[in-house]
Amino acid sequence: MAIYLIGDVQGCDRALQRLLDKISFSPSRDTLYMLGDLVNRGPDSAGVLRRLMGYGGAAQCVLGNHDMHLLAVAYGARKTHRKDTLNGILEAPDRGAMLDWLKIQRMAILENIQGHEVLMIHAGVLPAWSTAQTMALAGEVEALLRSPALGDFLSQMYSNEPAFWRDTLTGTTRLRVVVNALTRLRFCDANGVMTFDAKEGLATAPAGYLPWFDVPGRQTAGLTVAFGHWSTLGWINRRDVLSLDTGCVWGGCLSALRLGGNTSDTTLAQELIQVRCEQSQKPG
């Protein structure tokens, strides 16, 4: 049995097929953990969803900002962007089944892999959040995704405010901060105040801001956090951070990280497998 973490597919189903062929993936034996942004910008978002749906429990997925955008468009809470490639889902006869499947996916996954805790999210975790709090807040959003209140929330989801977390937040503002952190975060300051203006690499950090994973005192620093979302960051392999968005939809690679097997008491064995993607777009 093999465990694979896969970065942002973004509708590039052909690249996903080639990657799964390269790793000889078998849904009866192996498990995929998809790190969000399953859809959009690539040519076959519906193909990606149908493929992952067909794998049943062998494909565990967290939702990214593009997946949330699809739900917002489907609920009439957001208009499509000129670069969106979502019509294959929105106009499909099995649209309802695909959207229903998306709504039962996760916002964060915590797994113990051969003695190593791995937290999987799409974008980031605020530095003040412990692992337990991250999972609890993700669970609040997951409950919302399955509830009749989802449409109302999606119509109010798009705002950068509040830009920081307080335990006293309630209602829509509370859930908005959680969604923004888990699906959009790149940079924040030492107090956890988020900014969404900078989208390039580490050198573009605004004055006073840091990559969320380098904020001193981050409460989740004691485990490995795996994420996607940040294509200009690329592949980063640290004890506490695994960055797996390698820019497939922008003409880069689609990456799978095979996990398993302790090489020492403190190291989780891993192998990076990549395929080049034929899709090439400009970010935006």
pLDDT in tens, 170-198: 999 999 999 999 999 999 999 999 999 88
User: Which pair of tokens denotes residue 236?
Assistant: 């980063």
Where do the domains of the chain lie?
3-276
Under a CB-based contact definition with an 8 Å cutoff, are residues 3 and 259 in contact?
yes
Q: Name the CATH topology of 3-276.
A: Purple Acid Phosphatase; chain A, domain 2 (3.60.21)
pLDDT digits (tens, 9 = 90+) for 211-258: 999 999 999 999 999 999 999 998 999 999 999 999 999 999 999 999
pLDDT of residue 115: 86
pLDDT at 81 over 70: yes
pLDDT digits (tens, 9 = 90+) for 88-111: 999 999 999 999 999 999 999 999
Mean pLDDT over the full length of the chain = 94
Lowest mean pLDDT among 118-127, 151-160, 169-178, 201-210: 201-210
pLDDT of residue 38: 98
Report the alpha-carbon angle 17-70-27, nearest 5. Answer: 30
* Average pLDDT estimate for 3-10: 97
pTM recorded for the entire structure: 0.94
pLDDT of residue 283: 46
Nearest to 211 by CA among 243, 255, 250: 243
**What percent of the chain has a predicted confidence (pLDDT) above 70?**
95
pLDDT at 262 over 70: no
Q: Which amino acid is at 45?
A: S
pLDDT digits (tens, 9 = 90+) for 55-72: 999 999 999 999 999 999
